[in-house]
């Protein structure tokens, strides 16, 4: 298969900042891009701003959060669109899969009607056509016995099945960007693998840009092409998945990797490594490097000025003065 030229990114987040009220920054100067057909894994601990970033891209941030910077999707800046144009883009050009399949579906509507609804919102088709398309979508996301399931209410379905319905809703109108916020966290391991395979297949078939938000580095390695590591609202390291995970340069990335349990059963006595300290709260972030208080490599210059995100190579960037493996 020939790949189309991928110079133009599908989604470009430029210097995005999200702040609460007068000025507590939750996300700062965030930059990353997602191209068509590319999967970008956005990783970081809970509370680092991953989900906020996703909601900002969907234009669904609560009104008490203010954004600065730009989010460019297919040529229009989401932060500057009026509510109506934004609503038209949601569901049709960008779509989102949420973390909790158990609560993401309306309990008093049948799963079929919840898919039909999004189809009717963005296409000029009849109800019958929408119902037909819904059944096709159910087949596509591998919901067994789709026709019989059409009129089921969500509480009759397992978590994995519900997540398939959520995915069907998300891909119903052929969006170009799909955001998956921890899509498998609430599911058990075997179902997790099925859902990831499904997402990957759908992405390949439709040449989707997929922004996968997760804290699971295993999932990222399995699915993503590029990885963006966030810490306390900032990108600290980004690059191709294999390069970053095999050769992490930021002490935080290295710490995350070290903190993962390894498969070997003989190492039962071994204690899991951790990163000492905790993520600073948004209002108590240090003025210098955000990771400095927890960093094994920290030195005086880290405290003084926050390091910039500087390119390491053509497709890798790092925000650190004293990276793992020595300076360049």
DSSP conformation class of 176: S
Q: What are phi and psi of 180, to 5 degrees?
A: -120, 110
Asked whether position 269 contacts other proteins by CB under 8 A, the answer is no
Binding-site member from 8, 15, 147, 188 for other proteins (CB under 8 A): 147
Binding-site member from 72, 117, 207, 243 for other proteins (CB under 8 A): 117
Asked whether position 22 contacts other proteins by CB under 8 A, the answer is no
Asked whether position 208 contacts other proteins by CB under 8 A, the answer is no
Asked whether position 132 contacts other proteins by CB under 8 A, the answer is yes
Cα of 322 vs its chain's centroid, Å: 28
Q: What is the DSSP string of 236-289?
A: EEEEEHHHHHHS--SHHHHHHHHTSPPS-SGGGGSPPP--SS-PPPGGG--SS-
Shortest distance in whole angstroms from residue 164 CB to other proteins: 14
Shortest distance in whole angstroms from residue 90 CB to other proteins: 4
Number of residues engaging other proteins in binding (CB under 8 A): 44
Shortest distance in whole angstroms from residue 220 CB to other proteins: 23
The window from 130-138, 185-193, 253-261, 271-279 that contacts other proteins (CB under 8 A) reads 130-138
* 308-324 b/e (C-beta count within 10 Å ≥ 16 → b): ebeebeeebbbbbbbbb
Q: Which residues face 76 on adjacent strands?
A: 73
Listed in sequence order, the residues at least 6 apart from 103 whose beta carbon sits closer than 8 Å to its beta carbon are: none
Asked whether position 151 contacts other proteins by CB under 8 A, the answer is yes
Asked whether position 60 contacts other proteins by CB under 8 A, the answer is yes
d(C-alpha 160, C-alpha 183), whole Å: 10
Listed in sequence order, the residues at least 6 apart from 100 whose beta carbon sits closer than 8 Å to its beta carbon are: 186
Binding-site member from 13, 56, 95, 211 for other proteins (CB under 8 A): 95
Count of C-beta atoms within a 10 Å radius of residue 284 = 8
Q: CA separation (Å) from 209 to 35, 187, 202, 259, 269?
A: 6, 23, 11, 29, 42
Asked whether position 135 contacts other proteins by CB under 8 A, the answer is yes
d(C-alpha 213, C-alpha 57), whole Å: 13
Asked whether position 304 contacts other proteins by CB under 8 A, the answer is no
Asked whether position 24 contacts other proteins by CB under 8 A, the answer is no
Asked whether position 87 contacts other proteins by CB under 8 A, the answer is yes
Asked whether position 260 contacts other proteins by CB under 8 A, the answer is no
Shortest distance in whole angstroms from residue 58 CB to other proteins: 6
Asked whether position 122 contacts other proteins by CB under 8 A, the answer is yes
Asked whether position 71 contacts other proteins by CB under 8 A, the answer is no
The residue (of 186 and 320) whose beta carbon lies closer to other proteins is: 186
Asked whether position 251 contacts other proteins by CB under 8 A, the answer is no
For helices 111-122 and 127-140, angle between their N-to-C axes, nearest 10 degrees: 120
In degrees to the nearest 10, what's the CA dihedral of 50, 53, 59, 62?
70
Asked whether position 107 contacts other proteins by CB under 8 A, the answer is yes
Asked whether position 105 contacts other proteins by CB under 8 A, the answer is yes
User: Which residues would be at the binding site for other proteins (CB under 8 A)?
Assistant: 58, 60, 83, 87-92, 95-96, 98, 100, 103-110, 112-113, 116-118, 121-122, 127-129, 131-132, 134-135, 146-148, 150-151, 153, 155, 166, 169
């Amino acid at each position: 298969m020939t790949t189309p030229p991928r110079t133009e990114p599908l989604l470009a987040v430029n210097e995005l900042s999200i702040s609460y009220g007068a000025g507590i920054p939750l996300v700062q100067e965030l930059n990353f891009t997602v191209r068509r057909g590319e999967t970008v894994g956005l990783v970081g601990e809970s509370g680092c701003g991953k989900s906020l970033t996703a909601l900002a891209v969907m234009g669904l941030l609560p009104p008490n959060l203010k954004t600065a910077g730009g989010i460019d999707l297919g040529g229009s800046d989401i932060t500057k669109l009026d509510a109506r144009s934004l609503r038209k883009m949601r569901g049709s050009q960008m779509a989102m899969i949420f973390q909790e399949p158990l609560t993401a579906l309306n309990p008093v509507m049948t799963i079929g009607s919840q898919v039909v609804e999004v189809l009717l919102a963005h296409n000029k088709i009849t109800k019958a056509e929408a119902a037909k398309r819904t059944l096709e979508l159910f087949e596509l996301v591998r919901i067994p016995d789709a026709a019989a399931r059409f009129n089921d209410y969500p509480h009759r379905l397992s978590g994995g099945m519900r997540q398939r319905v959520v995915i069907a809703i998300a891909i119903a109108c052929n969006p170009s960007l799909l955001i998956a916020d921890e899509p498998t966290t609430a599911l058990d391991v075997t179902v997790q693998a099925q859902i990831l395979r499904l997402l990957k297949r759908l992405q390949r078939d439709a040449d989707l840009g997929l922004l996968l938000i997760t804290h699971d580095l295993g999932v990222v390695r399995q699915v993503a092409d590029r990885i963006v590591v966030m810490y306390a609202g900032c990108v600290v390291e980004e690059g191709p998945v294999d390069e970053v995970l095999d050769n992490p340069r930021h002490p935080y990335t290295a710490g995350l990797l070290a903190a993962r349990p390894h498969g070997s059963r003989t190492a039962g006595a071994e204690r899991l490594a951790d990163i000492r300290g905790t993520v600073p709260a948004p209002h108590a972030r240090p003025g210098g490097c955000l990771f400095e208080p927890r960093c094994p490599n920290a030195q005086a210059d880290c405290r003084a000025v926050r390091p910039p995100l500087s390119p390491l190579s053509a497709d890798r960037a790092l925000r650190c003065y004293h990276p793992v493996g020595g300076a360049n």
